[in-house]
Amino acid sequence: MSAKAVREYHGKKLIARHVRDVSEGRHVVDDRSVLISPTTNLEELVTEEPWLLASRLVVKPDQLIKRRGKAGLVGINLDWTGVQAWIQERMNKEIQVEQVSGVLDHFIVDPFVPHDQSDEYYVCIQSDREGEELLFCAQGGVDVGDVDSKASRLHVSIDETLTLDQILTSGLLQGVPDSRTENLGSFVLTLFKVYRMLNFTYMEINPIVFTDDGKIVPLDLAAKIDETAAFLNATQWGHLDFPAPFGRKEFPEEAYIRELDSKTGASLKLTILNPKGRIWTMVGFLVLLLLQTHISFCH
């Protein structure tokens, strides 16, 4: 297994695309979301996504940064002009988040969803050697606290089929009002099916919001996918970006191997752990040999 983190933008698009089909239309996730980078043409973007001009918006960096809200990296309830100003103030600027410094260059923009604190929940699915574990907290959001000690848990063996009855009777959704339990349980079941179908290895939504009109909206998402499952899921995934962790710049050699990887059915990966290192693993030696052979062939 090669678990690779994906951008929040791509993770949300995957969920929105497949939740409707898996739930046979019972659950529909708003798929309005845009990713803005230094090369994005903002004038063309609003033509393609006119909802940006008609909605209140939320903007935040989409670069695998944890605890963005506490770091002051979320712009809430802005109009499109406000979003552009918020991004312009931060685009290509270096910042420090906790102990890590890096340059901001990718931002996600979503519709603003008005709700109360009591509407926020925490849900996480993570894979282990025996199957998957679901974690749930009836209190989500930036102040969710120590999830490991607070969350209700349900483990599903790798050869077991999860049912709605299991979710509702296991105590996983304890603390959720009775009026919301069945709908939220059905959504969690659908999310679990999508998770398995697309070979996710980790999915954390905090918060997931249950609005007064019965809609369920994933507000913040962190997810990882088993990259080696591309031969099974490439069509379902569509375009996916596997960015480097925030604060870690991609070396030219890594970019070169990534470009080669995109043009072949083989799997070519290079991660430089220590650019001044002098010890090569066998895999590293083979990559170096490949680079030298390719360069010699080109000349």
* Tens digit of each residue's pLDDT (9 = 90 or more) over 88-127: 999 999 998 887 889 999 999 999 999 999 999 999 999 9
Does the pLDDT of residue 30 top 90, yes or no?
A: yes
Say how far apart CA 221 and CA 226 lie, in whole Å.
17
Of the candidates 84, 80, 87, which has an alpha carbon nearest to the alpha carbon of residue 57?
80
pTM of the model: 0.84
- H or E element: which one contains 272? none
Task: At 95, list the tokens.
Answer: 């910042």
* Tens digit of each residue's pLDDT (9 = 90 or more) over 173-216: 999 999 999 999 999 999 999 999 999 999 999 999 998 888 89
Amino acid identity, residue 3? A
- For 36, residues 6+ apart whose C-beta sits below 8 A from its C-beta are 42, 45, 87, 106, 107, 108, 109
* Tens digit of each residue's pLDDT (9 = 90 or more) over 38-72: 999 999 999 999 999 999 999 999 999 988 988 88
Say how far apart CA 161 and CA 285 lie, in whole Å.
43
Q: What is the DSSP letter of 197?
A: H
Task: At 282, list the tokens.
Answer: 């066998």
Mean pLDDT of the chain: 89
Say how far apart CA 19 and CA 226 lie, in whole Å.
19
Domains located in the chain, CATH noted: 3-28+116-237 (3.30.470.20), 34-111 (3.30.1490.20), 252-298 (no CATH)
In this prediction, residues 272-291 reach a mean pLDDT of 68
Are the beta carbons of 156 and 221 closer than 8 angstroms?
no
